[in-house]
């Protein structure tokens, strides 16, 4: 796990006392503690471990522990193990808080801005998906995603855009962001309809009918912070968000997130390279490829920005809102080219 200098946080005396009390439940001898983001790097006499805080959803830790153990049986070792207390418990409660302990994975956060690392991460994701298909998932209770309801989810979001427009139209005083966002709603509304059209004209509904017969666990949080690189080895950390879902959900979200970055700028060739990296381990069907486009190009960022402004009323400065919107708009022409190239790719895909 990465411990970049600016991520290290000072530990206060009361906090240190709490950590030591928690660690007394484990069979280890403490040497040093360092806080990085919201986790604690614990150096002991024999190894290095990671202490994490968790909310009330303790089942997530039990699910993660089961998954790690079962994946190891299937030769997938790119995960950190959970560590039980002296009494064999996975979770330690302290007042109104709860913690669990895992192995510390040495390395740096994966640099997904580097296409070569992104491809290796995609291969790791494919390997993870394949390995989870061999596990008996009846022994754990995992949430199922809303993949069955992509059409409903997308429809709700474009209806939200209509509501954003009504809110703006009803304002007595509009600012610059209001005018800018209002002018763009129809464009991104149509983009949302395009995603729904892809699903309606594809094999999406048939795939979802048969989905339960081949369950796959998705990481559901496959971001750079959760992918650790140690030399040529890559590891997945943080299994608290795992769900049962289509593999293309993980991959599609990964590609969507990367395409809006300056290093990618909706360059289809780079997306294709990532897809082919995934395919080299776990081959996607033509139907999968077609359906994934709907997820990648749905205007999630535009909807999310409007939701923050007009529903959640997030306390950002006007400049921050405008800069976020400018960034989204600047990608639009590249997205159009991306869609055209992606569709051409699906025609000849085998």
Domain boundaries in the chain?
A: 5-56+81-105, 115-348
CA distances from 253 to 83, 258, 314, 331, 335 (A): 31, 9, 24, 17, 15
Residue whose C-alpha is closest to residue 167's, from 178, 153, 156, 154: 178
Taking only the tens of pLDDT, the chain with its 350 residues reads 655 544 667 888 889 999 999 999 999 999 999 998 889 999 999 999 999 999 877 889 999 999 999 999 999 999 999 999 999 999 999 988 899 999 999 999 999 999 999 999 999 999 999 999 999 888 888 877 766 689 999 999 999 999 999 999 999 999 999 999 999 999 999 999 999 999 999 999 998 887 765 678 999 999 999 999 998 899 999 899 999 889 999 999 999 999 999 999 999 999 999 999 999 999 999 999 999 999 999 999 999 999 999 999 999 999 999 999 999 999 998 999 999 999 999 999 98
φ/ψ of 218, rounded to 5, equals -105, 145
d(CA 59, CA 88): 16
The DSSP 8-state label assigned to residue 129 in this structure reads H
- Rg, the chain, Cα only: 22
φ/ψ of 116, rounded to 5, equals -65, -40
d(CA 196, CA 174): 31
183-193 burial code (b ≥16 CB/10 A, e <16) = ebbeebbebbe
Please give the CATH architecture assigned to the domain spanning 5-56+81-105: 2-Layer Sandwich (3.30)
Chain centroid, CA 136 distance in Å: 24
- Same CATH topology for 5-56+81-105 and 115-348? no
Helix-helix angle 332-348:176-200, to 10 degrees: 10
In CATH terms, the fold of domain 115-348 is Aminoglycoside 3'-phosphotransferase; Chain: A, domain 2 (3.90.1200)
């Amino acid at each position: 796990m990465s411990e970049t200098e600016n991520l290290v946080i000072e530990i206060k005396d009361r906090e240190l006392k709490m950590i030591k009390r928690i660690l007394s439940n484990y069979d280890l001898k403490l040497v040093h503690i360092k806080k990085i983001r919201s986790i604690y790097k614990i150096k002991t006499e024999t190894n290095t471990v990671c202490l994490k805080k968790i909310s009330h959803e303790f089942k997530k830790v039990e699910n993660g522990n089961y998954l790690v153990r079962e994946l190891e049986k299937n030769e997938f070792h790119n995960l950190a193990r959970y560590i039980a207390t002296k009494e064999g418990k996975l979770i330690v409660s302290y007042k109104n808080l709860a913690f669990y302990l895992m192995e510390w994975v040495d390395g740096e956060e994966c640099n997904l801005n580097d296409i070569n690392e992104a491809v290796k991460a995609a291969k790791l994701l494919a390997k993870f998906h394949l390995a989870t298909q061999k596990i008996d998932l009846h022994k754990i209770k995992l949430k199922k995603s809303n993949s069955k309801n992509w059409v409903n989810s997308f429809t709700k979001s474009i209806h939200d855009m209509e509501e954003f427009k009504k809110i703006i139209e009803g304002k007595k005083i509009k600012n610059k962001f209001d005018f800018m966002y209002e002018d763009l709603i129809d464009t991104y509304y149509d983009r949302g309809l395009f995603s729904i059209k892809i699903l309606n004209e594809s094999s999406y509904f048939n795939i979802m009918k048969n989905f339960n017969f081949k369950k796959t666990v998705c990481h559901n949080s496959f971001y750079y912070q959760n992918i650790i690189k140690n030399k040529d080895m890559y590891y997945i950390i943080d299994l608290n968000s795992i769900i049962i879902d289509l593999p293309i959900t993980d991959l599609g979200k990964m590609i969507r997130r990367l395409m809006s970055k300056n290093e990618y700028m909706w360059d289809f060739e780079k997306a294709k390279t990532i897809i082919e990296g995934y395919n080299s381990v776990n081959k996607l069907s033509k139907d999968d490829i077609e359906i994934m486009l709907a997820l990648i190009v749905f205007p999630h960022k535009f909807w999310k920005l409007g939701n923050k402004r007009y529903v959640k009323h997030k306390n950002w400065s006007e400049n921050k809102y405008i800069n976020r919107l400018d960034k989204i708009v600047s990608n639009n022409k590249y997205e159009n080219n991306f869609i055209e190239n992606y569709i051409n790719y699906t025609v000849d895909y085998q």
